[in-house]
Chain A
Amino acid sequence: MNKTLKTAFVSTIPVMTGYLVLGFGFGIVMNSSGFDWWAALAMSLFIYAGSMQYVAIGLMTGGASLITVALTTLMVNARHLFYGISMLDRYKNTGKNKPYLIFALTDETYSLVCTDNPTIAPEQRNNYYFLVSILDQLYWVGGTLLGVAVGSLINFNSEGIDFALTALFVTVFVDQWLSSKKHGPALIGLGVSVLCLVIFGSDSFLIPTMLGIAVLLCIMKEGDGND
Chain B
Amino acid sequence: MTDTYILLVIAVSALVTAAIRFLPFLIFNGSRSTPPIIDKLGKTLPYAIMAMLVVYCLKGVSFASLSSFVPSLLACAIVVLLHVWKRNTLVSIVSGTVCYMLLVQLVF
Q: Chain B, 8-45, contact with A by CB distance < 8 Å: what is the 0/1 string?
A: 11111110111011111100100000100111111111
Query: Which of A41-49, A124-132, A141-149 contacts the other chain?
Result: A41-49
**Interfacial chain B residues near A34, Cβ < 8 Å:** 1
Give the contacts of A55-114 with B (CB-CB under 8 A).
Answer: 56, 59-61, 63-64, 66, 69-70, 73-74, 77-89, 91, 98, 102-103, 105, 107, 110-111, 114
Identify which of B8, B11, B50 contacts A173 (C-beta below 8 A): B50
Give the contacts of B68-108 with A (CB-CB under 8 A).
Answer: 71-72, 75-76, 79-80, 83-84, 87, 89-90, 92-94, 96-97, 100-101, 103-105
A138 interface hit (Cβ, 8 Å): no
B13 to chain A, nearest CB (A): 5
A136 to chain B, nearest CB (A): 14
Q: Say whether A227 contacts B55, CB under 8 Å.
A: no
B66 interface hit (Cβ, 8 Å): no
Q: Say whether A165 contacts B14, CB under 8 Å.
A: no
A169 to chain B, nearest CB (A): 5
Q: Say whether B12 contacts A114, CB under 8 Å.
A: no
Which secondary structure characterizes the binding site on chain A? helix
Q: Chain A, 200-226, contact with B by CB distance < 8 Å: what is the 0/1 string?
A: 001001100110011001101010011
CA distance A202 to B49 in the complex (A): 17
Q: Say whether B43 contacts A157, CB under 8 Å.
A: no
CA distance A12 to B18 in the complex (A): 22
Interface size, chain B (Cβ < 8 Å): 67
Q: Say whether A166 contacts B12, CB under 8 Å.
A: no
Which secondary structure characterizes the binding site on chain B? helix
CA distance A85 to B40 in the complex (A): 10
Q: Say whether B97 contacts A102, CB under 8 Å.
A: no
B42 to chain A, nearest CB (A): 4
Given contacts A14-B89, A226-B44, contact A82 B49 (CB under 8 A): yes
Q: Say whether B14 contacts A226, CB under 8 Å.
A: no
Q: How large is the interface on A (under 10, 10 to 19, 20 to 34, 35 or more residues)?
A: 35 or more
CA distance A181 to B47 in the complex (A): 12
Can you pick out 18 interface pairs between chain A and chain B where the beta carbons lie within 8 Å of each other? A56-B9, A66-B9, A70-B12, A70-B13, A77-B17, A82-B45, A83-B21, A84-B20, A86-B46, A88-B34, A157-B105, A159-B101, A160-B103, A160-B105, A167-B96, A185-B47, A205-B59, A206-B52
- Give A residues with C-beta under 8 Å from B: 13-14, 17-18, 21, 34-35, 39, 42-43, 46-49, 52, 56, 59-61, 63-64, 66, 69-70, 73-74, 77-89, 91, 98, 102-103, 105, 107, 110-111, 114-115, 157, 159-161, 163-176, 178, 180, 183-190, 192-194, 197, 202, 205-206, 209-210, 213-214, 217-218, 220, 222, 225-227
- Give B residues with C-beta under 8 Å from A: 1, 5-14, 16-18, 20-25, 28, 34, 37-60, 71-72, 75-76, 79-80, 83-84, 87, 89-90, 92-94, 96-97, 100-101, 103-105
